[in-house]
Amino acid sequence: MTCYSLDGLTPVVHPSAYVHPSAVLIGDVIVGAHCYIGPLASLRGDFGRIVLEEGANLQDTCVMHGFPDSDTVVERNGHIGHGAVLHGCRIGADALVGMNAVVMDNARIAPRCFVSAAAFVKAGFECAEQSLVMGAPASVKRRLSDEELHWKQAGTREYQQLARRCLEQMQVCEPLAEPEANRPRISDSGLRPKNTGQ
C-alpha cells in the first residue's frame, strides 16, 4: 500500500487487514481487524478521521474523505461496493453501500441498510435500521427482508475470507503468454479446480 503520515498522524492498519498495494492511505486513517481494502481505493485522512471497523470492506476505486473535524466511518461488517464515495458520513454496522453510490456529509446510514448502486444520499440524511435506500436524491423505499440481509452477510463473509486469502497468497508476478492446459478456476471463496468430468 502507499501510506503517508501527515501532521504527525500515521495511518493504522491491523495486521489481519488486507490493503491492496495500489490503495492510498493518508494521515488519520484507522483500519480495523479483518478488513479488506481493494485496488486504487483512496482513504484521505488529511482533514477528518477515516475509520473502517472490524470486518468492513472497501472495494476498488472507493474514496473516503471528509471536512475538517469530521469522522467518516464504516462500522463493523460494513460493505462498500466498487467506486462508492463516502464523505463525512457514517455507515452503520452490517450495512451495504452499492457500486458508484455517493453518501454525503453528516448522513447516517443505519445498521443493516442497503444503499442502492448509483444512489446519491444528501447531506444530513438519516434512515431507520434495515431500510432499502434508493434514488438521486435517495429516499427510503421499503424495509429489507431478513433473506436480503442474509444475502448481504454472506457476501461480506466472502470479503473477509478474501482478505485472508490475499494476505496469505497474493504476490506480484509476470503474466503468462497463454492459458495453461486445464487451467483451474477461482470460486468465490478460493481456488478450487473445476470438475471437468474426467
Where do we find the cell 448522513? 107
SS3 147: helix
Q: Is residue 79 part of a domain?
A: yes
| 123-170 tens-digit pLDDT | 999 999 999 999 999 999 999 999 999 999 999 999 999 999 999 999
- Contacts of residue 163, defined as CB under 8 A and 6 or more positions apart, other chains included, come to 16, 17, 18, 34, 35, 36, 57
Residue 196 has pLDDT above 90, yes or no: no
Domain count, the chain: 1
pLDDT at 184: 87
Q: Is residue 168 part of a domain?
A: no
pLDDT at 63: 98
Residue 16 belongs to domain with CATH number: 2.160.10.10
pLDDT at 186: 78
Q: Is residue 129 part of a domain?
A: yes
Q: Is residue 185 part of a domain?
A: no
Q: Is residue 55 part of a domain?
A: yes
Of 72, 54, 60, nearest to 21 by C-alpha is 60
pLDDT at 126: 97
Mean pLDDT computed over 54-63 = 98
Q: Is residue 169 part of a domain?
A: no
Mean pLDDT computed over 74-83 = 98
Of 14, 36, 13, 58, nearest to 170 by C-alpha is 36
Mean pLDDT computed over 105-126 = 98
Per-chain mean pLDDT for the chain: 93
| 174-189 tens-digit pLDDT | 999 999 998 888 765 5
Distance CA 62, CA 43 (A): 8
Residues in the chain: 198
Where do we find the cell 491492496? 20
Taking the whole predicted model, whether its pTM rises above 0.85 is answered as: yes
Residues spanned by the domain of 66? 2-143
| 19-49 tens-digit pLDDT | 999 999 999 999 999 999 999 999 999 999 9
Q: Is residue 45 part of a domain?
A: yes
- C-alpha distances out from residue 10 to 28, 38, 149, 194, Å: 6, 20, 35, 44
DSSP 92: -
Q: Is residue 174 part of a domain?
A: no
Mean pLDDT computed over 186-193 = 53
